Structure 1
């Protein structure tokens, strides 16, 4: 991940959406999917450093500078970014309803796709078979114990990641903060065939900066009159721009 990521004009561009002439094209009939356009205040360097110390992890550069320059949460892809906050219990991420997201495994290595696939295969292979038990009661006890392991396995599969936002219908976006995939964003849905999959542009994983800025370019284009689904989006000069593969996709 790049260490010199910055967000020129991004905060102003998001807040300007309040005055956009066609908000329904961007956000639907109800405005923003997460309510009125809003951004939490940016955090200070001291606050970000304190959160990192308490949580036991260094934030990826693109997310760290977002907290410093854009805001601690608010309007963003899907239903908006969960807010990084501090209360009497310490630093945590909370959604718009104040639900506190667990970060107890944040300092663990974020697993690779191969590791997660191996864990799932092993878990499925250990499913109890009724014919191996003398009676229904003993089978049900074994099955319940096996099934309960899934909750622990799910937590292990997203260790080392921050829950960033809700996509709706039980799907969430997570940001890897440890391991080789540090700084990239992932879609997590436990009902999907592949529960944890990268948010990607083609075959490439997408980092937090490009994920957010590509959304902002698209939503700005639509809010100012562009048709949804149109591909060649050009953010106004001087404003936040996507990089790399996404930059080519958005017409740069």
Structure 2
């Protein structure tokens, strides 16, 4: 964790003009750490234990703030438009007690996407509206169902509703996934150059090291 703070200080100094993508949102500032007792109260609330490296970060370095893209979310928070909201309001997370259901990149099959409306010339505006409303409902039920992300929490967003998630329950606990469902591209695990799953510490340090190399 000491290495993270040193590199964050260096990056803040080198990128005083805030040229690194997303840095103008967080300005390399961290929120105060969350008291360990408060963090453990959250674990009891959801009946889960969070990955150790994430827990250490939130309770010793900062409860959100400076981080990849537009910054690390405080625990129990996610993006909502240009602001943040709590998980209950955001409506993205599933049952955190359940194992994360994916072990590899996931998307709905091509046959699903073939059902996307393609209104014909001459269709009434009312008919088109009905087609798109039905499609949106189908997406909500099959593509954005909370259960799809059981056992994981959103930790940051890249903009345009693209999010990074961290698995907290299941065999892949601690790994980071990219959520591209807003572009109909499903979700996929982040992996390093050797094909290994990326952990929270890998993810955060990777951002620092790449950003420092670019400054």
TM-score scaled by length of structure 2 = 0.75
Match in the other structure for 2:16: 23
Give the match for residue 132 of structure 1. none
Deviations 1:158-194 (A, max 9, x none): 2211111111122111111111221111111114453
Greater CA radius of gyration, 1 or 2?
Answer: 1
Partners in 2 of 1:174 and 1:191 — Cα distance? Answer: 14
Give distance in 1, aligned partners of 2:85 and 2:163: 14
Measured after TM superposition, the shift of residue 33 of structure 1 is 3.6
For residues 221-251 of structure 1, give each alpha carbon's deviation from its aligned partner in whole angstroms, at most 9, with x where no partner exists: 444xxxxxxxxxxxxxxxxxxxxxxxxxxxx
* Aligned match of 1:93: 77
Q: 1:247 corresponds to which residue? A: none
Other-structure match for 2:201? 209
Unaligned ranges ≥5, structure 2? 118-123
Structure 2 counterpart of 1:148: 137
Name the stretch that deviates more: 52-61 or 147-156.
Answer: 147-156
CA–CA separation in structure 1 for the residues paired with 2:165 and 2:102: 14
Is there any run of 5+ residues in structure 1 with no aligned partner, and where? 1-6, 85-91, 130-135, 224-252
1:8 is the counterpart of 2:2: yes
- CA offset digits 1:184-220 (Å, max 9, x no partner): 1111111445310111113222111111111112223
- Report how far residue 30 of structure 1 moved: 8.9
Bigger mean CA deviation after superposition, 71-80 or 40-49? 40-49
Closer, same or farther: CA 46–124 of 1 in aligned 2, 3 Å: same
1:38 lines up with 2:29 in the alignment: yes
Q: Distance in 2 between matches of 1:125 and 1:217?
A: 38
The correspondence of residues 45-124 of structure 1 with structure 2, limited to 5 A, is: 45-84=36-75, 92-95=76-79, 97-101=83-87, 102=90, 103-113=93-103, 116-117=106-107, 120-121=108-109, 124=112
Q: Pairwise CA RMSD of aligned residues?
A: 3.5
Q: Deviations over 1:23-74 (max 9, x none)?
A: 34xx418982424221011222211111111122210122111112211101
After superposition, the Cα gap between the structure-2 partners of 1:114 and 1:31, relative to the gap in structure 1 and judged at 3 Å, is closer
- With the length of structure 1 as denominator, give the TM-score of the two structures: 0.65
**Cα–Cα, structure 1 residues 116 and 221, in superposed 2: closer, same or farther, change >3 Å?**
closer
SS at structure 2 position matched to 1:186: strand
